[in-house]
Amino acid sequence: MSYLGKWKFHSIGTVDDETDERVWLNAEEYLNSPMPYVDETDEDAVADEMKERKKTVGTLLEVCEDGKLFVLMPLPEGVSVKEAEDAARAGIIKLRDGMMTDDPFTWEEREGELWVNLGGADDFMQFSGDEEFLTMVTTRFERFT
């Protein structure tokens, strides 16, 4: 299987409180789901959590032929493309295809599976994947291009 290309958010895995089974929430379900680790009476905390959730559902993974994997994140609400481009020129952020990114991770294929180096000399983590989905920890991505 080829992992090359872009992958967009599909769903996030969580545990159903009633059945203790893993369920996958699509973007709308995730954005509207309870926030068990946030004091939902704290408006600022809820707003921060919603920003993070929106960033998560807008995230793309780009797996490149040269062994790099980019995590592409949407621009924050209220930030214009011009502001982002100015910040990139100033070295404050990095942009790729109009989205924010950090330095790419490296990846390699081992016995048909995608392994991504998340930091150290040999700090590789296996992503599970098939023709339909690529799963990074609890987040599922589907092929975009």
How confident is the model at residue 121, as a pLDDT?
A: 67
Domain of 123, in residue numbers = 5-143
Integer Cα distance of 66 and 94 in angstroms: 19
Question: What is the mean pLDDT of the segment spanning 37-50?
Answer: 93
Q: How many domains does the chain have?
A: 1
CA-angle at 114, arms to 110 and 115, nearest 5°: 80
Q: Which of 12, 93, 98, 89 is nearest to 54 (CA)?
A: 12
What pTM, to 2 d.p., does this model score? 0.87
pLDDT of residue 90: 97
